[in-house]
């Protein structure tokens, strides 16, 4: 029996639906973060007393920076998922970019944008 070199079209379809589901949630979360950052959600404290505003300033700045970081990570995640969809279309999805072997289905279900097997990822860290 020869080793499979790529996932079947049926398997790719399964991964595609997992990715599309995660992508929809990721985009929703990202849009929500951006609305908060742009103060479009109406939960702003700008109209409260100046004293309160001064007290809030420090924590607001910190949480805004944290939110920017989260939004940035979310954007990277979205890009990773979109790139995975391109690999599905090209039928190269699920192939370890270092070894050329198939990445375990369990890993792809957990991390659908993965381009390395667990083994390759651990070897890179060494």
Q: Does residue 121 lie within any of the structural domains? A: no
63 within some domain: yes
Bridge partners for 20 per DSSP: none
Asked whether residue 112 is domain-assigned, the answer is no
**Number of domains forming the structure of the chain:** 1
**Rounded to an integer, what distance in angstroms lies between the CA atom of residue 32 and that of residue 36?**
6
The answer to whether residue 126 scores a pLDDT higher than 80 is no
Q: What is the pLDDT of residue 64?
A: 83
Residue 4 — pLDDT band, cuts 50, 70, 90? confident
In the prediction, which pLDDT does 65 show? 86
39 within some domain: yes
Q: Is residue 114 part of a domain?
A: no
Please indicate, yes or no, if residue 71 is contained in any of the structural domains: yes
Domain containing 68 equals 9-93
What pLDDT does residue 62 have? 65
- Kindly tell me the sign of the dihedral angle through the C-alpha atoms of 108, 112, 115, 116: negative
């Amino acid at each position: 029996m020869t080793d499979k070199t790529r996932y079947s079209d049926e398997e790719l379809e399964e991964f595609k639906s997992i990715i599309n589901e995660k992508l929809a949630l990721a985009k929703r979360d990202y849009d929500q973060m951006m609305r908060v950052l742009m103060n479009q959600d109406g939960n702003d404290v700008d109209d409260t007393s100046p004293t309160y505003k001064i007290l809030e300033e420090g924590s607001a700045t910190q949480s805004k920076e944290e939110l920017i970081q989260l939004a940035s990570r979310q954007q990277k995640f979205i890009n990773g998922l979109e790139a995975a969809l391109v690999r599905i279309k090209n039928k190269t999805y699920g192939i370890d970019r270092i070894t050329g072997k198939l990445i375990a289905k369990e890993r792809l279900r957990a991390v659908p944008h993965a381009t390395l097997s667990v083994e390759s990822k651990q070897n890179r860290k060494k």
